A and B are shown apart, each in its own frame.
Chain A
């Protein structure tokens, strides 16, 4: 089996298919700021009403928000797989004889309660005490919960693709979206079993599996996916995760900013502030989370880092727990530049390819180089002159 270098892990591991010689110019990617998430599930309803409201799809929530640590759709999906994997072992390396990927098929009842544990908290009631977080003094909430929006990661090492015996799952050349060919699938459910994030789902009415489509009909038109545009918490930014600092002007339009995309900055720059979900699985997921800063770092280290003793990748800090703490602090106290990018979240439904943050203003351009956002960090206060005006009419 070919080896592939996984930068999230900082090492090589096996993957059944050769990668392209060069990275795509454009790859689907997303940032989610967990600290802004209010668990309204508007994203989930937006997704479901667009893609899975048909027969056999009743149980399918391609997009769901679960409350950590007790929620889970399907129930307990992550702890079960974590327990099955050895330390520093990807799902590809852990595959059993005759299989390409380590995984399991969640049973019907494990899918049954999408809102399981919704809004529930972990910890003991602080009788006679308070619950407090103070990052400077290494204090975190000892009673905690947080909301984890979950969706297909359009991985660079997709497990579903690796596992499909019919090669009916593929990665699109132009945008990296991973699709499951609905005409070719025969419902063997290897993708359902192998995806560690449990996003391919089997439709018992049609006999074929389905998986999230990254809202490709919208991406093709230069618009962000529905879970992003519908997010009233302004938790999300979507765009070209592969657009790095050396990239030119979008659409060759010199009036548009060149260089990084805003999502690339948040996930890949020296000021990295967003981390992948369970990178240790080895699939190189392309949704990156700004972690909750009140939550104990031990849990987040398990969830958002390779969680190995040795830190091999280029993340900040000497250990992964340190990486988490540094990123938590960056989220709590964002730099001026990051704060500027945060204003782009939910500002437009157009895909923002490049941007600038100058003083207290942020601008964004789409793939064609059209300016699609131009806004201040804060609105000016307006006061009407004249005695007849009042705020208590």
Chain B
């Protein structure tokens, strides 16, 4: 079946009042005047006409699938079909007759949870069908006219027109280029979202990279979703619970996370804590929408968040509100640290007969033996503490407060103190609530009150999110300090208590059989560390000390190496670097979402010396990234796909499998099929002896052979994992299922706290002091607040003591006094749904107009995405425009009113955008930086051109930055790998793919890598132009003050 957008509009509108009455207008005229109505409040004589609405409501059949964008939630939805077209969607618990499997009768109850989980699926899922039919869809494979295999001509990217090619031609071009590579590592797969599209979509790309010997990247590290403080403290990627656990909390601190807008589906569990007596406190620089739900809002200076948590720790220590037993059992706080070199004291140093670990650090990692540790028992005698002796097995009752000289086995005497003494003395000295008020602007008494209440709560939880991760030091010291607070209070490992982050779709871990598919027969793609793309492939001679955040410290780093084979910092051998010749991006609008966008476009994309030779983008829509590709491959929407695929998420316990509900509209192929066709071609082009495996095709034959079924790949994956081993594909075809984990709801570290299993660190405990050389060299081995490398009025990159008396020249002299906040939007998921009409209208808030011509949006898409020769189409206003929110005071300072245009300039680029004045933003008059909020994910064509100094690159990311943190470039950091629990890997059966897994160290994609901390920059803002039209503004109504005060209609004011 082939349906056009016009057909959809007609079909979706079929049976609407408009269509029916339009055609029946004459008829209703002719039957008029016969009916007499007496009292319509009591009765109405002829109600046959009501059939009109029954017709509108009616449908032919119902099918279901899963909406799973990178909001990480995954929601099953029923789609109501009429004439082969989905006319609307509804959450699966609907019990209407005709609703298929998962909807009957209990929705998610059928997956083995209670009805508390119903309903799931937000407004975006409800417009999936409109997104499927919207005008930016890519309709067939295309090749950029300026590109040829031998002369890639990257300067033309983003400007050249495309020409249609057949799938055969496109596949052949790709395979030919791959076959011509001298080094397979030059083939790179980039995909976002690690935990969905795993088998038949972009996951197939990773499988190809593995067997081919290429590299794979993810946006997860690059976009600062990764919360390294979690790994530093616990060795675990990110600790988070099923959303249903939130409800059990007595107290919640919500710091820098707008949870009510970025976790929509299961948000009610959080709101429900308050009905059950729970209290909620928000810490934000602005009146985030989540603040309306909070009992108390503590307004914080942006970027000063670590100091807040240190202040809370101060109150808990100072007032002795902590739980000593918990600290002894589960943390490094009782372990002794040598004062001379900052290393944890080892048992063999104290006890003569104690076996030392290997000398060589790499060997220690390989043997998983870093020595045993030492504490002082209640008599003051040293006792060895092994990695396994945690929880109830902790020897003796070690003292928390030790600061003494200790004689070693060698006869030497050394000063030692416990981790607790170390943290305590620093915090008591530097982070009393009054000092913290100076740093954060949070009133000291409010901090004290909050800390006491938090400590007093039986179960208390703390959330942070991307807004925090994107600040250079917050993603490390804030996160570590929150764990410190939570472990002092025993708030780990039980329902309703914990520290959560929920940024990114990283929980592929929960589908633990996945390596069997993506890394078949021991083949694994190189995990490419994307941050280096900036330092090396950018071409620009970047100042290592600036961009890398290496603040003039003596580190043995060699950032500017050979672009082909860059030299890595010492002790970072695990970090793979390889310049891509072919970069194939799937399931990610890489260039729209990338920070430091101008640099990326100019150097990574368009520079003849430093860009790649073939950029392939597979997407549903003509995104900014697709527009800059050499080969564009169209993929089906979730409604159209031919092959099912599976997905899991970090805040729900479900595994979902989607499948299409309608025939594809266009000449699309699912990524898995395109990959399989390439693999088949590779076998033709590469002789067997030169292949990395016997046959590339053989790894994808279930896509290609008629008698094979791709669902077998899914089943094999399910069979290889503990969480899914009892689940059959047939089960998830009928609806979501619940994963099999230790607990439901999933509580992070449940076994650590309740079963005395070690944390995934060298010590087996939550580590606050870090002994790895890199942390020691950087002076970041302990919990501290350090000012931002750019986003501060004070001395940059310094602890408060020094920073407070200094001025950041960028702020004071150049007057870059705003920080630039790009939070997750609500009506889009990142840039997805960016051109879907209803979502666009609502995303645009005051500037989203229902009266605008929908063709305005269509033309915006066409002019940018599918240019046809010279003829520019006539300008028509679109349904919505991008805007930046700015406090009215700050807007007035530059003579800007609601709707006017401003230019925002940062060190890295500038953009023009409309202003929406907004009282919820932090004004500069609050004492430091003003806040500009530009919801992220706008498409570049939704911004106006800068007529005065346009440089061709526009979008919300031109002023953002990527900072690389050398603290996160070390092989020495020990952690659990994505898949498999080393604590029990001997206890699972052979057919579990992670049987025998051990602790890992160093780089691992989505676990341990430098994360681009990309909010951390300053901008200035100036008036660009007065608007030529303004939207309505209720605030300008003279009645509004009376209305707000409640005094209209003679009420009391």
Contact = CB atoms under 8 A, between A and B. Distances in A.
Interface of A: 17-20, 35-36, 38-42, 44-46, 48-59, 69-72, 75-76, 78-80, 82-83, 85-87, 108-134, 141, 143-147, 158, 161, 164, 167-173, 179, 181-184, 203, 205-208, 210, 213, 216-218, 221, 223, 226, 229-234, 280, 292, 294, 296, 298-303, 307, 321, 332-334, 339, 342-343, 346-350, 372-373, 375-376, 378-379, 381-384, 387-393
12 contacts: A49-B130, A69-B1043, A184-B49, A208-B21, A223-B94, A230-B119, A230-B126, A233-B267, A302-B1046, A392-B749, A392-B751, A393-B979
A226 B90 contact: yes
B779 interface: no
Contact of A216 (B50, B89, B1050): B50
Interface string B46-85: 0101101110110000000000000000000000000000
A307 B1051 contact: yes
A125 B54 contact: no
B89 to A, nearest CB: 7
Q: 8 closest pairs, A vs B, by CB?
A: A54-B16, A87-B1050, A298-B1046, A54-B18, A170-B40, A170-B44, A167-B37, A393-B512
B812 interface: no
A155 B925 CA distance: 48
A242 to B, nearest CB: 15
Contacts of A217: 53-54, 57
B359 interface: no
A206 B106 CA distance: 40
A114 B39 contact: no
Contact of A115 (B40, B90, B844): B844
Contacts of A232: 91, 119-122, 264-268
B742 interface: yes
B741 A389 contact: yes
B721 interface: yes
Given A42-B122, A234-B268, A50 B88 contact: yes
Given A58-B850, A130-B298, A170-B37, A38 B271 contact: yes
A368 B987 CA distance: 52
Contact of A40 (B122, B274, B751): B122
A388 B988 contact: yes
Contacts of A339: 275-276
Given A54-B16, A114-B848, A391-B747, A348 B115 contact: yes
Contact of B22 (A146, A206, A333): A206
Given A19-B41, A381-B744, A51 B1035 contact: no
Contact of B289 (A39, A164, A299, A375): A39
Given A121-B287, A131-B296, A299 B1045 contact: yes
Of B16, B266, B276, B291, the most chain A CB neighbours within 10 A belong to: B16
A145 B918 CA distance: 12
Contacts of A71: 1034
B258 to A, nearest CB: 10
B748 A392 contact: yes
B56 A391 contact: no
Nearest to A60: B850
B441 interface: yes
Contacts of A75: 1032, 1034
Given A124-B919, A127-B925, A393-B723, A182 B52 contact: yes
B1027 interface: no
B938 interface: no
A223 B96 CA distance: 8
Contact of A49 (B127, B723, B749, B826): B127
B1032 A389 contact: no
Contacts of A321: 1052
Given A38-B261, A122-B919, A86 B1049 contact: yes
Nearest to B126: A45
A44 B267 CA distance: 18
A36 B268 contact: yes
A117 B277 CA distance: 31
B908 interface: no
Given A110-B1032, A181-B49, A302-B1048, 4 more contacts: A127-B925, A217-B54, A298-B1045, A378-B247
B17 A54 contact: yes
B741 A393 contact: yes
Given A53-B13, A117-B846, A226-B90, A18 B127 contact: no
B748 A301 contact: no
B824 to A, nearest CB: 13
Given A69-B1044, A217-B54, A116 B1034 contact: yes
Contacts of B268: 36, 232-234, 346
A266 B50 CA distance: 31
Given A229-B91, A388-B984, A131 B297 contact: yes
B312 to A, nearest CB: 15
Given A79-B1037, A349-B95, A50 B722 contact: no
B1039 A384 contact: no
Contacts of A113: 845-850, 1031-1032
A223 B94 CA distance: 9
A299 B824 CA distance: 31
B31 A52 contact: no
Contacts of B751: 390-392
Nearest to A391: B742
A143 B723 CA distance: 46
B1032 A109 contact: yes
Contact of A376 (B114, B266, B919): B114
Nearest to B265: A232
A280 to B, nearest CB: 7
Interface in B419-472: 441-443, 446
Interface string B10-40: 0011001111011001001001100101011
B267 A59 contact: no
A196 B15 CA distance: 29
Interface in B934-990: 976, 979-981, 983-984, 987-989
B907 interface: no
A35 B19 contact: no
A337 to B, nearest CB: 13
Contacts of B1052: 298, 301, 321
Given A110-B1032, A392-B748, A167 B40 contact: yes
Nearest to B838: A45
A348 B984 contact: no
A217 B15 CA distance: 14
Contacts of B180: none
A38 B40 contact: no
A347 B976 CA distance: 38
Given A38-B260, A217-B57, A298-B1045, A384 B119 contact: no
Given A123-B919, A173-B43, A393-B723, A206 B17 contact: yes
A127 B926 contact: yes
Nearest to A133: B295
B236 interface: yes
B1034 A301 contact: no
Contact of B980 (A79, A233, A393): A393
B392 to A, nearest CB: 16
Interface in B120-151: 120-123, 126-127, 130
B41 A18 contact: yes
A213 B53 contact: yes
B118 interface: yes
Contact of B271 (A17, A233, A347): A233
A212 to B, nearest CB: 11
Nearest to A235: B268
A229 B95 CA distance: 10
A334 B275 contact: yes
A75 to B, nearest CB: 5
B116 interface: yes
Given A79-B1039, A143-B287, A40 B37 contact: no
Interface in B281-298: 287, 289, 291-293, 295-298
